[in-house]
Structure 1
């Protein structure tokens, strides 16, 4: 006798495949393929049900811990434990929701079945794709590093004996970096394989639960699908290059060319469902601006004061503007100081150790929105005194370094209306302006040349795009607040729409990200700041 017959119950019709269903009227067990064959007999009445939920299913009840002679035939929904009839009659579960444990078992197994299908059909195949991509990249590594070695050989042939030692040294460097590169990929592949092994183990355990009548195993099941749904980040490695300048026999070592270092960046995937991780009540009537000081402290601007708050809404510092008027915008410098613009007295101010210093006073123009640059300078959008022109100005300290106002054809880059023109510098040094008057995000490169305009998702023709706040992250994503439509648009650095963030936002205005790419959103009407994880 096949020993597997003791473990696997077979279909009564084909007697080869494991049974999954039963016909309650005909009292016959069926596999998936034989269900349709059985139903084809229209001369009889049929009722197909899952085998595990069939009335002939004989449960293996758990013995009550307090009343050892009793089976736990019920389940306390309030206490989340199996209970026996004596437990119920004792009054200890009075007022609690009590359900039949077989019903609970059935619903739990259905959840397990659903999780199993998601793991097998959706989650695990995605890990397989990632693993395959890593293996493909490893093959490309061999090819590309081979090209580098060939380049080194060709250069060595030109230089003959004098450069042989340098050639060998450079090739050794290539091998060393390649080893590091492959080591990184091997480590990444091992992590993925380990995770895949975990998933396979969980799949086997879940199948075991589904095939057993042990209520204890089923009732203690905890889904790990949310854990496995969080895919590992993709490692992006920039290949080194080998420069080959003209030969100078006096400086052979320098002129042969240097090998760039291995540069590794982590590509963070977007979450399927962004989530709010903290909410800060600022106490303002209306809130327009937010700027991160750290992961758990943010500067905010509502009326004529600027508040520093932590994630628990505790006020740490409150500063009023020098003029007493409402600041237009705020930004935190790389040194952790606060900058604010004052439209009313034409100034840009720095707050250091709670002391306000006016660093720039404008003539003929009024400052609007401000951001700090990677070079620790400032970018400021401003409006002319006659309210007809807008431009972006770059400052180093108090010195104007660049003015961006017109495109190559001499036309204004920014609309003449709307007033609201938040801005941010991207990781690639592009300057991104949320031009509310133009209903567009206008992006120019570092030199001020227009790259693109984003006017909203192409498929959305019913709702106007109303950009307010704007920020960028470590992945060079551009995030802009579509205030009137209560959502955030995420774009790549070339202006391609990637997805929305909703998170039940209400009129989002100011935006910023911290060093870990957590998004902080200032809600205008609620005067709350929401911290959102989206990567």
Structure 2
């Protein structure tokens, strides 16, 4: 089998024409026949006298088919008429019965289609307004809870600091008071010691006087009569010391609370959370749709663009300066940025010639992306920084991710926002930054509070704003809407198959490659459509440019192949 034949056989249609023996893409729909039609069969349908008045629309604008319900009175007939007077559904035979003579009837299928459209519109409100808005309020609550924890921890720190300060003052005053008691004690003891010395001296004086009296009394002659009488000094007077008295401080728990401060909640009415009105969301959606329309006009995309019947190889070239191809980014000039798992990041021209080469922390992730302005953004896992390269080859630091390690990055084609897949330990998240690098919000958990991501290896954004991530640990494509609400996860139909590079196209298709060398094509809601490409050289990196070309990087070689799969 030739290479072209192999590529054609690898293509499977996600919506086959309903005409017998026709296998082309059924992008149109006949509301009368209720079957999809390809472009050729649509033209034949219009030419056929029996069907030329049938209503044919684009498939996405098709009328919903009325569910089959048998008439209870006429079991061989289907209920497909609505009696406006009796307000009941009927079959065609019931409408001819006497009780319905002169009544007017409506096509039940038209009523069903109308009701279906109304309910679909209401369901759309749930998906586009009520759920995202409520999810946003939950995020606000989580942020408020984080703020509460921070504030309370700050208050506790301040309370401990105040208590420590008071304790230090208490220790200081107590130390001074104790030192004062030691001084008082020393002074009193010195005074008593002085008094003791006075009495010691007086006792010595009395001893001396006693000796003198003994000498006088020992005289035996009359000379004693002529001696003066000895006078004894009075006993010295001393003061009894006044002993100190301790007067304890008088304070209460209330006094201590006043010293240490209190925690109070202000006596004010709580502020109502702001719920964004539906008309504001509608206005934003219209603005986004306008951006999408402008983007489509710039790329000269026709409204009838659809899947081709087969995949066509446009170009193939070998990229110099790398060991293998793990990721591909196409910039506005048509040049490519290609990376391997050794940190080599190479820019090539349209012929595959090297323009510049940069050494990065690299790895087997989608760690670079081209922006709307023609710059390239890439992550540095080691430094936890995201860099920007301008067309004049100037490299600047763009975003710091703190403690989180950035793995994958994507620049939105809708509004220029930057989506970054990051990990820390066993935790993972996707963070949205503005075009200027300001953090907007983080996506971590699903509606049940469980972690959405394990290892967000590749990341991209679909035309409806969905964030699509190829997760290396979950082994799945994890898709959330713009507000971060989990929509679905896609895993390969084959067991134990890991998914790698991922991208989306202008029709909302999700393209993802697996490690058994195949490219899966999914619809916007995660439905498997087909395997559009297989390779014996391994497919890891994927990218779709503004001209709807699919770039495929091969892991086992340094080859990038360009394909056309839309027409």
Give the TM-score normalised by structure 1.
0.49
Q: Which has the larger radius of gyration?
A: 2
